[in-house]
Amino acid sequence: MAPKCSIPVIDLQDFPNQSSKLIAACEEWGCFRLLNYHELLPATLMSEMKVLVRSLLDLPEEIKRRNIDVIAGGGYVAPSPKIPLYEALGLHDMTSRHGVDDFCSQLNATTHQRETIMRYAESVHTLIVEISKKLAEGLGVKSENIGFEKWTCRARINKYHFTPQSVGTTGGPMHTDSGFLTILQDDEDVGGLEVMNKSGDFVPVDPWPGTLLVNLGDMATVWSNGRFCNVKHRVQCKEANPRVSIASFLLGPEEILEPLPELVDDDHPRVFVPTTYEDYRKLRFSTKLHAGEALALLRTPSAEK
């Protein structure tokens, strides 16, 4: 039976019926639970990948440290005094053979593991592009001209080392995702993820096996000319069991991203200046503004009035 779910739920097999519900979810919440996507990302592949990433996280630390940053903060993150429960591995450019090969060589992955990662990356990419097209269509924009297929995609494997002593503390600090869209394969059993609603309250996103969480990031707010919400979220320790999640990010185009011209008119002036994902990411890192506040620095002078 489906658990109680406070955030919107979208059925991928029920389009175009769900189109207005999808747009409302993006405007009100900036996230939703996705159902019925298994044609594109089979449940068996998801569980195979989960087993695989758990084994990668169990590797000795000196091997995990070989997973170096390609972009700032993009590689292995060891537990630190500031974020002691959190550990992560990063797969930069998951849709290129080269990206997957580098990641696998760093971590001594077997041929079978490499093939599983490739299949997972391809399937998640197809799915994330499909959802992005539904967003464009929901806004009345022709999705073929956007070229989502070519946008950069990366993945992060997250582990939260929850213990009896850590219950009640924060495992992953509040942030927004910097990119366009995130597909999160969360832990099947261990909860703790919370998203912020429009009133500023955190709402738990409890595990719901067989579904995915989709989050909108800062680039989606720029692209939609401020219509879509970049959801703030965090991970709290609620129980003394380790939690593992896989986040796949569609970041944005390599070139400039700007508000969709179709959403800009006299009544809706352009809210953000054009940017590239790379430049925006650098801005977030240099200002240490990780919860969407850096978007204020991209606002056009007319939007300030």
Could you tell me which residues are beta bridge partners of residue 268? 265
- Do residues 129 and 156 make contact, with C-beta atoms less than 8 angstroms apart? no
User: Given the complex with ligand AKG, which of 99 and 172 has the nearer CB atom?
Assistant: 172
Which residues, numbered 234-263, are part of the site for ligand AKG (CB under 6 A)?
A: 235, 245, 247
- Nearest approach, Cβ of residue 235 and ligand AKG (Å): 5
- The CB-of-211 to ligand AKG minimum distance in angstroms stands at 13
Nearer to ligand AKG among residue 193 and residue 212 (C-beta): 193
For the bound state, the minimum distance from the C-beta of residue 32 to ligand AKG, rounded and expressed in Å, comes to 15
Which is closer to ligand AKG, CB of 217 or CB of 259? 217
Looking at beta carbons only, is 104 or 295 nearer to Fe ion? 295
**Binds ligand AKG by CB under 6 A, chosen from 87, 186, 194, 218:** 186
Q: Does 10 bind ligand AKG (CB under 6 A)?
A: no
The rounded distance, in Å, linking the Cα atoms of 268 and 71 is: 34
Q: Does residue 184 touch ligand AKG according to CB under 6 A?
A: yes
* Positions 160 through 189 that interact with Fe ion (CB under 5 A): 177
When the beta carbons of 146 and 190 are compared against ligand AKG, the nearer one is 190
Dist. CA 188–CA 264, nearest whole Å: 41
Nearer to ligand AKG, 117 or 235 (CB): 235
CB of 122 to Fe ion, least distance (A): 22
Crossing angle of helices 111-138/19-28, nearest 10°?
A: 100
Q: Which residue has the tokens 């946008």?
A: 151
Q: Report in angstroms how near the CB of residue 92 gets to ligand AKG at its nearest.
A: 14
How many whole angstroms separate alpha carbon 85 and alpha carbon 5?
Answer: 26
Report the residue number, 249 or 259, with the smaller CB distance to ligand AKG. Answer: 249
Site string for ligand AKG, 196-235 (x = CB under 6 A): -------------------------------------x-x
Q: How far is it, in rounded angstroms, from Cα 196 to Cα 163? A: 25
Q: Which two tokens stand for residue 260?
A: 């969709």
Q: Does 93 bind Fe ion (CB under 5 A)?
A: no
CB of 15 to ligand AKG, least distance (A): 26
290 contributes a contact to ligand AKG by CB under 6 A: no
The residue from 158, 166, 236, 248 that contacts ligand AKG (CB under 6 A) is: 158
The distance of closest approach from Cβ of residue 137 to ligand AKG in the complex, given in angstroms and rounded to an integer, is 26
Is 193 a binding residue for ligand AKG by CB under 6 A? The answer is yes
Footprint of ligand AKG (CB under 6 A): 156, 158, 172, 177, 184, 186, 193, 233, 235, 245, 247
Footprint of Fe ion (CB under 5 A): 177
